[in-house]
Structure 1
Amino acid sequence: MKNRIFLALTVILLSFVACSSSDNEIIEPKAPSNLSISGVKVGADGNNPNGDGSGVVNFTISATNATYYKVLINNETLEFSENTFSYTFSQPGTNEYEIIVAAYNSSGNTSITYSITVYVQTELSLIWQDEFDTDGAPDASKWGYNTGTGDNGWGNNESQYYTNRLDNAKVEGGVLKITAKKEDFSGSEYTSARLLTAGKFEFTYGRVDVRAKLPAGGGVWPAIWMLGANFGTVGWPACGEIDIMEYVGNSPGQISSALHTPSSFGATVNYKATSISNETTEFHIYSAIWTESSITFLLDDVEYYTYNPSTKNDATWPFYNNQFLILNIAMGGNLGGTIDPNFDTSTMEIDYVRVYQ
């Protein structure tokens, strides 16, 4: 009888332990599954199955139990918490790309390979240019000036006074010469020029090529850049700024490109530097390709930086509107740094400025 009671109690106890263990068991999530990706090429139709030539593709990823994704695309690794993103392919012609997509959570990951064929237009139309073929003052139908100092609201603690004199900006021998000089002028120790196309030529999307030879000397800060045409109404950085090329004479052998937006500006700008040689003795081509979803920078037709945010809104992508071109040499300032006390004069020579769409 005792044995039967003990056996019954044992069965009840084991059942209780089993139930308790089952009730308190921590169930780990399953690894992601059912992973897929699809790409919609912008402008694709029956006549253009591989897109309209812009190279822009809008992707959507789908997976069960995924918390984030990684995408290896065109030798570039992207990571997203959202399941949609846009990417701009830039290799000219019609090309097939293999894309590796992986979905992750705390229990593991799964991946697939996806193929897509995209067409990128190889021919662009020249919509604006200045070849600087006529000696004298820069073409007034194409270029205006900012004059004065940073007190006008657009300085960066720079030391120059911008003028509209031929001493600081003139066309000569087929090139535009912007010259920075050490001289006393209206309370400043240096003069220079800042030319811009605001109100004369403004555009949205395209490719800009500028062939230039850069000035030399500690403290020079030449730039080839663009600013949103709505600057006067929304201010900076809401208007967006595209720095095609900046050079610092105190750091020879290097140029940089940058983008200023409401979410990233000043010291925390989207920025990339690249090496260059003979920049003050030879001409190089500085370029930017601006599309509805990305901005790519090139040196002598070689890409070195692409800004392509996964999420685009007015904070991260203010580049929906017209921009105008700016050419200038600043002296010193936040980026130019210390000016060589022996600096006398230096010139940026610009062979041409061309804009394509």
Structure 2
Amino acid sequence: MAKKHSKHTNLERRHNDNFAPNEVSILGTNCGIISDLVSKVSKQLSNYKLAYFDTSHAKDVEENQLAEYVFHHEGNLQITTSGNINKFQQRLDFSNFDYVFINGNHYQGAKQILILDEAKEASVLKRLDQLDRIQFIVKLKSETEYFNFLVDKYPNIKNKICYTIDEVDKIANHINNLIQEKMAPIKGLVLVGGKSTRMGKDKSELNYFGKPQKEAVKELLENNNLETFYSVQNSLENENEISDKFINLGPFGGICSAFQKDPNAAWFVLATDVPFVSDEIIQLLLKHRNPSKAATAIKGKNKDFPEPLITIYEPKAYSILLQYLAQGYSCPRKMLINSDVEIVEIDDSFIRNINTPEEFEVAKKEINKSK
């Protein structure tokens, strides 16, 4: 049988629903009730990045000749511009959000919350085929019966969890669980193969703990239950290696290459020239991980900036990194400084970079003394 020809490279893609990585459409009642419920629930889930996807109800709208971006000095942004709905653009726009609520009266979501409203039975019937992944039911009145056509089409619908519209706490808690279920797993990435010009030899091969440092770092991450890979410049792509697909970009290219391999994982990136990073520090970063941020990064208490090579990068960081690359920047620290990240501060001595043979000898003596 002839092999099917493909024009395009088969890349791993980030898991997306119709418009966002994690979305739910709310339908079955009027738009005012939907937006009011979203507003109330969002206040209880304010630790997440949330968005609401709706349509304008204005009858006549002139096309904007000028796109207006109005920034408030405290952070709000109002955008008035023209453009059509495009799922690829929406996925870019919503890539940094943990959960997107969709007004299901206007747009079809991959998952649904059905509100039972007796006055809107005809509207639900019209959208019956869209209700293929109902998460739970909300009743406007507790005595409202399930519509017969719903039960005929989805015989198990009465087994779905059901709330009344005033049970905002319970609805918010259920949505919280839906967000948590999609939290990305973490994988480890050990950066090896740098030029090490000041050291005069490959820093990943230095021996602090009776083995090459790259092995010690890999074990450090694996001991915390992280499937871990070496980031290397040139490789036949062995099982535990990820070769750079973004050539000559240093650590930035290694991080992007890891995301290209698995864009649905968070990546715990660790360099081999920070030998004082211990198991306790790994656990500290994991404990304080904030998946709603672009990354969770270590920063020395007396340092001005976070350490980009002792950092957990979330899946949402990938598109941000590529946007920086598109502007001609390949510095992961620049991305961290200018993005919404979780910072974990520790004493500077734990994150010392060892770059010269003299520093190596001093560090090795200190490590041997503390054993």
TM-score with structure 1 setting the length: 0.30
Q: Between the two structures, name the one with larger relative contact order (CA 8 Å, sep ≥ 6).
A: 1
Pick the structure with greater CA Rg: 1
